[in-house]
Structures are given as C-alpha cells and as structure tokens.
C-alpha cells in the first residue's frame, strides 16, 4: 500500500495524490466474471431526473464478486490482485482446485500464490479465509461480515474497513463495527479474516474537477446559493449564509438522529455509534 505525489507539470497535477498500485498484479480482468453495467444518469424509466448530481463518467464493466464464500472446504489459489472501478477496495481472483474461478474482496497482505479456503471444519483463522463467527477466535480483526446467515457480506467491505469480534454468548456474537457501533450478530454468519485492502484510499486527492466527472459525479450546487423555494438554507439578501444546516427536506444535518425508535433490530445494538 502506497501513494504517490505527482510532480506538477500541469495545473491539475499540482495537488494530485495517486495510488501507487504496488499490490496490483494485472490490468486485464477475467472475462468470464465480467457483466455489463448500465448507467441511469439519475433518470427513471420516464427519463425524468430523480437523483441530482449524477451522470457521465467512464464506461465500466461490473466484476461479479463472491460475497457469500459458500464454496466450502475447497482450497483456492490467489491468481491475481486487481483494481475494481466499482468499489474502493481491490479484488482478488481465486482459482479453485476444481477449476472454478471467482472474485473476492482482497484483504491487506493477501499475496499471489497464497491458498485461501472457506468453511467451518479445519479452517485456520488466516488472512483471506472465510469462517462462521462461531469458529473465529475472540479479538480477531475481520471484514466482509454477513448480517444474516447465507445473505452474503454486507458490512466492512470498503477500502481499509474492518470489524472486531468482541465476545460470544449463546447463538450471538458481539461485533464492534467500523462506525464504533457494537451489535449482536448470529454466530452462524460468515466473516473473512483480515482488513480490507487499499487502506490508503482515504489519502488520495483528485487534483481537479475533471477527475470527479470521470467518476460519474456532476457539479453539486451549494444550498446557501439556492432560492428559498429550492432549499431551507436558500434566500436572503446578498451573501447570506443560510440558517441552521439541514437537508433539502428540512432534516437537521448535524447530530440529529433519524433512526426509528421502533425499529425491530434496535434490540441487537449494544452500543450506538459515536456522534
């Protein structure tokens, strides 16, 4: 993991910080695991804009990722570590002993040639291996955690993210999540050992507005320059800067809790995330 600061031979490179990509081993994805990716540009089926500030961007192909890790007991060799334009983390191509190929989210320290395996019996808690929470030693750093058994990984999947297995009691395991929240999850849920790769992602600086356009994001209008009919923070004489920070539909932006008090999963949250 490394980042590079460019020598500014153009204005757009003046503050640019790019990924070193020193862990990437190939720039050609596995064709059998590619799928077309259609862009909506923020428009619905009638062609009307329903989501602002989206559109354009470079054409991409989707990499089909195995989030379930349900091929149990069969070792797989890590063939390549690759860049994925659809996510912040890097991905790894696995070659299973029975000939099947699958992509997984790569963990920090995962090396080409290394063997990984998923399952319950006889699986060591080593980087890249996927196991049920019931089999993972307490205190282990984990990622790609399921919320319901068989659902596939939904938590701690982005670059540098990780959770920690704190305790087990009966059929539940206690997990400390990246947000700081501590919650109970069924011990039969799968998780992968290790921290998600590309932890330097947060240090990158795009350097110019054009690079954000390449990613499919259009320019965003600040609320304080809108009219009162468009936003609660708009309007006023001259350069008035809008009142209390809140969203377009009036929900306060700083510290206001929007989670429902009657949500059924509240009973599984041991400690809320920090403000």
Q: Which residue has tokens 């599984």?
A: 268
- Segment 57-109, tens digit of pLDDT: 999 999 999 999 999 999 999 999 999 999 999 999 999 999 999 999 999 99
Give residue 45's pLDDT band: very low, low, confident or very high (50, 70, 90): very high
Give residue 26's pLDDT band: very low, low, confident or very high (50, 70, 90): very high
- Residue 122 has a pLDDT of 84
- Residue 275 has a pLDDT of 67
Q: 227-269 domain in CATH 4.10.950.10?
A: yes
Give residue 1's pLDDT band: very low, low, confident or very high (50, 70, 90): low
Rounded Cα distance between 132 and 176, Å, is 16
Rounded Cα distance between 208 and 18, Å, is 12
Q: Where are the domains of the chain?
A: 3-201, 227-269
Rounded Cα distance between 41 and 39, Å, is 6
Rounded Cα distance between 160 and 202, Å, is 9
- Residue 241 has a pLDDT of 85
Rounded to the nearest 5°, which phi and psi values hold at 211? -70, -35
User: What is the distance, to the nearest Å, from the Cα of residue 211 to the centroid of all Cα atoms in its chain?
Assistant: 20
Rounded Cα distance between 75 and 92, Å, is 14
CATH number for the segment(s) 3-201: 2.40.50.140
Are 25 and 81 in contact by the 8 Å Cβ rule? The answer is: yes
- Segment 125-167, tens digit of pLDDT: 999 999 999 999 999 999 999 999 999 999 999 999 999 999 9
Both tokens of 250, joined, read 């009036």
Residue positions counted in the chain: 275
- Residue 163 has a pLDDT of 97
Neighbours of 234 (CB within 10 A): 19
Across residues 246-252, what is the average pLDDT?
94
Both tokens of 167, joined, read 């305790």
Which range is least confidently modeled, 76-80, 189-193, 233-237? Answer: 233-237
- Segment 111-129, tens digit of pLDDT: 999 999 999 888 999 999 9
Give residue 189's pLDDT band: very low, low, confident or very high (50, 70, 90): very high
Across residues 213-233, what is the average pLDDT?
95
**Inter-CA distances, 71 with 31, 152, 220, 251, Å:** 21, 12, 44, 44
Are 244 and 261 in contact by the 8 Å Cβ rule? The answer is: no
- Residue 273 has a pLDDT of 87
Instruction: Specify which residues 249 forms β-bridges with.
Output: none
């Amino acid at each position: 993991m490394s980042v590079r600061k460019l020598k500014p031979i153009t204005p757009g490179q003046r503050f640019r910080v790019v990924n070193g990509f020193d862990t990437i081993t190939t720039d050609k994805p596995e064709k059998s695991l590619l799928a077309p990716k259609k862009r909506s540009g923020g428009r619905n089926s009638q062609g009307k804009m329903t989501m602002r500030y989206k559109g354009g961007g470079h054409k991409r192909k989707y990499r089909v990722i195995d989030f379930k890790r349900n091929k149990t007991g069969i070792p797989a060799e890590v063939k390549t570590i690759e860049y994925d334009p659809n996510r912040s983390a890097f991905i790894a191509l696995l070659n299973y002993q029975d000939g099947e190929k699958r992509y997984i989210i790569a963990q920090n320290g995962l090396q080409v040639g290394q063997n990984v395996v998923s399952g319950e019996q006889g699986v060591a808690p080593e980087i890249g291996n996927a196991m049920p929470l019931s089999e993972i030693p307490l205190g282990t750093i984990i990622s790609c955690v399921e919320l319901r058994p068989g659902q596939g990984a939904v938590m701690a999947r982005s670059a540098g993210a990780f959770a920690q297995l704190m305790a087990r009691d009966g059929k539940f395991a206690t997990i400390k999540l990246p947000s700081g929240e501590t919650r109970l999850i069924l011990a039969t849920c799968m998780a992968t050992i290790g921290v998600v790769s590309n932890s330097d992602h947060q240090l990158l600086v795009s350097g110019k507005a054009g690079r954000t356009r390449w990613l499919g994001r259009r320019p965003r209008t600040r609320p304080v320059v809108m009219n009162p009919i468009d936003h609660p923070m708009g309007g006023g004489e001259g350069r008035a800067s809008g009142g209390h920070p809140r969203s377009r539909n009036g929900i306060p932006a700083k510290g206001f809790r929007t989670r429902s008090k009657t949500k059924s999963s509240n009973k599984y949250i041991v400690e809320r995330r920090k403000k």
